[in-house]
Amino acid sequence: MRTSRRPVPGPGARITGLEPDPRRRGALKVLVDGVHFATVHEGGRSAGLAVGQAFEGGLAEVVNRLAEEEGAWRALLVALERRGHGTQELRRTLRRKAHHPEAVEYAIGRARELKLLDDAAFAVNYVETRAARGRGPGRLRRDLMALGVERTLIDRAIAAHWPEPEEALDLARGLAEKRARQLAGLAPEVKRRRLLQYLARRGFTGRGVGELVRKVLTPAGVG
């Protein structure tokens, strides 16, 4: 687990500055006896930090906690700048980076309040972008569940993209026709089995897929 424990200043030490960090919007640099001790989030003032305050008692613990929360928040922003995340996936990512669980929950909660995390919107975007890359409903459902997205949100996103289940077969047909050409020369049963396996990996299964493969493998289907 990540820690940001710092040597506690000696007796008589005081907070001599709470300065905005020019590199981190909303963050404060805590100066103790004129020396930078830690960088905390903007909640530092409401947590009771003040210039002139004696740095004694449990104050070091408070500052360390605020600094850990700030660190988790910055890591969250970096992750979201790279790509979209679902809440549970982002939580796991931050914990893998050894941020304290309570700091992670602070960062997650802050992101939700600012509308930076929305699992429903994430699921919709994931389905739209991955479907464009040839992934079918089954694969999308498995992938999103592995990312920790709620099943109801996944089902809604898939239904929004394919209001009728049969509509997904149009995508499957194009993939099957292309793959069938690549499998030219194989025995019919081998080609059929490999096509079904290929489509299953892509997320297309069921009776309709079996019928689609049968049609693709007829002379008329191959074109």
Q: What residues does each domain of the chain span? A: 15-113, 119-163, 166-222
Residue 220, pLDDT > 70, answer no
pLDDT tens for residues 97-152? 999 999 999 999 999 999 999 999 999 999 999 999 999 999 999 999 999 999 99
**Contacts of 21 by beta carbon, 8 Å cutoff, 6+ apart:** 27, 28, 29, 39
Residue 11: how many other CB atoms lie within 10 Å? 8
pLDDT tens for residues 167-206? 899 999 999 999 999 998 899 999 999 999 999 999 999 8
Confidence of residue 219 (pLDDT cuts 50, 70, 90): low
Question: Which stretches within 133-167 are classed as H helix?
Answer: 137-146, 151-161
How many residues appear in the chain? 223
Q: What is the pLDDT of residue 221?
A: 42
CA-based radius of gyration for the chain: 27
- Report the predicted TM-score, pTM, of the whole model to 2 decimal places: 0.81
Name the fold adopted by 119-163: Arc Repressor Mutant, subunit A (1.10.10)
Rounded Cα distance between 121 and 117, Å, is: 9
Confidence of residue 2 (pLDDT cuts 50, 70, 90): low
CB 69 within 8 A of CB 77: no
Nearest C-alpha neighbor of 205 from the set 165, 174, 178, 177: 165
**CATH numeric code, 15-113:** 1.10.10.10
Residue 63, pLDDT > 50, answer yes
DSSP E strand boundaries for the chain: 15-20, 27-32, 35-41
* Within this chain, domains 15-113 and 119-163 share the same CATH topology: yes
Q: What is the pLDDT of residue 121?
A: 96
Q: What is the pLDDT of residue 48?
A: 84
Backbone dihedral region of 85: left (phi > 0), alpha (psi from -120 to 50 degrees) or beta? beta
Q: What is the pLDDT of residue 6?
A: 62
Rounded Cα distance between 223 and 218, Å, is: 9
Rounded Cα distance between 54 and 34, Å, is: 13
